Amino acid sequence: MKNFLLVGIGGMIGALLRYSVMVTAPDMIVLWLENGIGSLVLGWLTGRAVATGKTASILWTTGVLGSFTTFSTFSAEWLGLMQENIALAVVYGLGMTLACFFAAALGFKIGGFSK
């Protein structure tokens, strides 16, 4: 039951943070910010967990970051672009995927994993 509460509280925090980004950042970069920051922080948490031998907290991983980032919105935007301009959609999809991968890798490195 404790884990459910942690995920729920984290989810509420993440959703409020996500909404804060949505109302303050320009529409064109909201999803990039949310997914990029989320990937960086999740990479950092994972790097810390590997470096310390502890597990990352589900409050932060599943809860906060799970509701802060969004794959479903990315998928819907990508599908919309595919219907309009396939070349732009490919660039968008690859760009977002690579940006988030490198953000996670950077976070992992900063988090303490040094191999």
Q: Is 62 annotated as a binding residue?
A: no
CA distance 103 to 42: 9
66: annotated binding-site residue? yes
How many angstroms separate the CA atoms of 32 and 91, rounded? Answer: 14
* Alpha carbon distances (Å) from 65 to 25, 68, 91, 96: 18, 5, 25, 17
Q: Which residues are annotated as a binding site for Na(+)?
A: 66, 69
Q: Which residues are annotated as a binding site?
A: 66, 69
